[in-house]
A and B are shown apart, each in its own frame.
Chain A
């Protein structure tokens, strides 16, 4: 089951004792703060978890995969996520237990 904002708010309610409204608001604001920082052109670095990095991409040739028609992919700014060492190590540990 995927983790959602509702689960995260529930966690703040149970483990930190915030009331349900505060918990919901804080989760919403947590993601909004990251979005706003990225929108303003800032990278967001959350040590132990990972970094949200902005990249600009130049226009490049593309193709409509259905029709084969050539259309340029316009220049754009995109967000990439680079997981931190700690998160990578924890996720790899999961792979080890499942695949061995």
Chain B
């Protein structure tokens, strides 16, 4: 069984704040525009059917879901659902290793 372990979340605005603190020579607004621009560029790339490859982080690609016959749960009538692409992420080696390194529950309270 898979369990969801993490309770804490980093959001986009927290990511922006944290980057802005570390790049204090850049205006906060520029960091915000940069992060939003990067995510937009990545989304654009995937919606054009292209891959994203970031060494040490991972790669994003599209997986094809073949057409299938679904059912309208309310009426029970069958509906033909056409094939579609869905985004897929494969974590890179460094990310996999770093995330797994801390998997063991820590003995000392933080």
**A40 contacts the other chain (CB 8 A):** yes
Q: Are B5 and A27 neighbours in the complex by a CB distance under 8 Å?
A: no
With contact pairs A29-B22, A47-B12 given, residues A35 and B94 touching in the complex (Cβ less than 8 Å): yes
With contact pairs A26-B19, A53-B4, A77-B102 given, residues A46 and B49 touching in the complex (Cβ less than 8 Å): no
Q: Are B99 and A54 neighbours in the complex by a CB distance under 8 Å?
A: yes
Q: Are A49 and B42 neighbours in the complex by a CB distance under 8 Å?
A: yes
Q: Are A31 and B54 neighbours in the complex by a CB distance under 8 Å?
A: yes
Q: How far is the CA of A42 from the CA of B5 in the complex (A)?
A: 9
Q: Are B95 and A38 neighbours in the complex by a CB distance under 8 Å?
A: yes
**B28 contacts the other chain (CB 8 A):** no
Q: Are B8 and A91 neighbours in the complex by a CB distance under 8 Å?
A: no
Q: Are A55 and B3 neighbours in the complex by a CB distance under 8 Å?
A: yes
Q: How far is the CA of A87 from the CA of B44 in the complex (A)?
A: 9
**B69 contacts the other chain (CB 8 A):** no
With contact pairs A45-B12, A76-B103 given, residues A91 and B62 touching in the complex (Cβ less than 8 Å): yes
Q: Are B83 and A95 neighbours in the complex by a CB distance under 8 Å?
A: yes
- Which residues of chain B are near A42, meaning CB under 8 Å? 6, 8-10
Interface residues of B (CB under 8 A from A): 1-6, 8-12, 15, 18-19, 22-23, 25-26, 30-31, 33-35, 37-39, 41-43, 45-60, 62, 64, 82-89, 91, 94-96, 98-103
Interface residues of A (CB under 8 A from B): 1-5, 7-8, 11-12, 15-16, 18, 22, 25-27, 29-31, 33-35, 37-50, 52-58, 75-81, 83, 86-88, 90-96, 98-100
